[in-house]
Each structure stands twice: as C-alpha cells, then as structure tokens.
Amino acid sequence: MEKKYISIVLDDGPLPFMCEIIDLFKEYDFKAGFAIMGDRVTDDTEYMLKYAVDNGFQLVGHSHTHRKLETLTDDEIIKEMTEPVTDIKNRIGYDMKNIARLPCHCPDERVLDVCRKLGLVLIGYGMHCGADWEPSATPERVIAQTLETVCDGAFACMHVREHTYIALKTILPELKNRGYELVTPDEFFKIKGITNPPVGVHIHNLNNI
C-alpha cells in the first residue's frame, strides 16, 4: 500500500488530555503538532510542553490570548504572535521557530500582511474534523468528518479536548489501516520536499504548493 501523509495540529493547549493524546499517538508510532496559547503556559502546565517535546512532538504558535487578530492594531498582532515564542524559549529552551496557526481563522488581509512581515508559515485547515472546538461536539461527529475528509498532504486542525481524545482512539488505528503516516509539521514539509514554504498564507494541503 502506498504510504500517505497528513499532519494533525491540535490547538489551544496546554490543556488537560494533552499528555493522554500524546500517549495515544505514540501507540501507533505517529507524531503531531500542538498549537500553543501563550496565556495557558504556566508553572503548572509547563510539564505538558516538556512532555510533548521530549516525545518528538512539535510546538507551534497560536497567539497569546486567542483574540480576533483583525480587531487589533499591527503592533498588538505582533505581540500576540511573538510573546508565546519568547516565553516558551525562556521556559524550556524550545524554539517554536516561525510556524503558527492563527486563532479564529483570521482571513483578514492586513493580519496576513503582518504575518508575512514576521515571516510566519501559517498552518491551515485541509480537513474537516467535526468542529471539535465546539462544546456540543461529539466523538462520533469528529470521527465521521475526519475519516470522510482525510487526504494525503493535508493539515488537520483538531483541539485538545476530551471528546477529541476519545475520537482519536478510533481515528488513529483507522488511519493506520488506510496507509497513512502522521507526522509533525517540520517532518511534513521535509517529506514533501518543501524547503521554503510560503509565508503569510494559509497552507491547507502541501500537495497544492
């Protein structure tokens, strides 16, 4: 069976179930990314970041407070997107580099222009995963939409939630059965031969670059 690749990046961590999600990925020799919110990084949650990094998972930016960036000034956007990078570097010595997922989609062209000036590679949404950020989301919905829309080259947007963790117990073995490998964003770009990904644009599927 021809090997196919996707990269799941789970937003809004560090939150409960982050370490459990990591352990679940490890069962299948999979890796993932976590899009980290700066204001959730504290002395009490720092261990989750270390656990991810120590197990070969990747951390990327997801703003400091998850505010709608299009409502902010350019300087405020810069602060939102750079503050978590600096804090995590100071806390655990990990460099999140220039990869991020914007909060709330943020399609505004001015926001994207600021991201271009920051040199940010923006991970998008190449699959539908059951709107798992909603409190009303169910594991069944997450499973159904994820498996229906999965395709080689796609970035998947999931969230660190209990119902997502439950859904992944079904999703991950099924993806393994279908011949998929799940990798970190950095690994994904390397596998697809992309050495200079575009900045300031949402990248949904690497096969389209």
Q: What is the CATH number of the domain that holds 71?
A: 3.20.20.370
User: By residue range, what is the domain housing residue 54?
Assistant: 4-208
How many structural domains does the chain have? 1
Question: What is the rounded average pLDDT for all residues in the chain?
Answer: 96
Region 71-82: what's the mean pLDDT?
A: 96
Q: What is the pTM for the complete model shown?
A: 0.97
Say which range, 101-110, 144-153, 155-164, has the weakest mean pLDDT. 101-110
Per-residue model confidence (pLDDT) at position 1: 64
What string of DSSP letters covers the chain? ---EEEEEEEEEES-TTHHHHHHHHHHTT---EEEE-GGG--TTTHHHHHHHHHTT-EEEE--SS---GGGS-HHHHHHHHHHHHHHHHHHH----TTEE--TT----HHHHHHHHHHT-EEE---S--TTTTSTT--HHHHHHHHHHH--TTBEEEEES-HHHHHHHHHHHHHHHHTTEEE--HHHHHHHTT-SS--SSSEE-BGGG-
Per-residue model confidence (pLDDT) at position 2: 74
Per-residue model confidence (pLDDT) at position 3: 85
Say which range, 27-31, 71-75, 106-110, has the weakest mean pLDDT. 106-110
Q: pLDDT tens across 51-64, in order?
A: 999 999 999 999 99
95 has a pLDDT exceeding 90: yes
In this prediction, what percent of the chain has a pLDDT beyond 90?
96
Q: pLDDT tens across 13-46, in order?
A: 999 999 999 999 999 999 999 999 999 999 999 9
143 has a pLDDT exceeding 90: yes
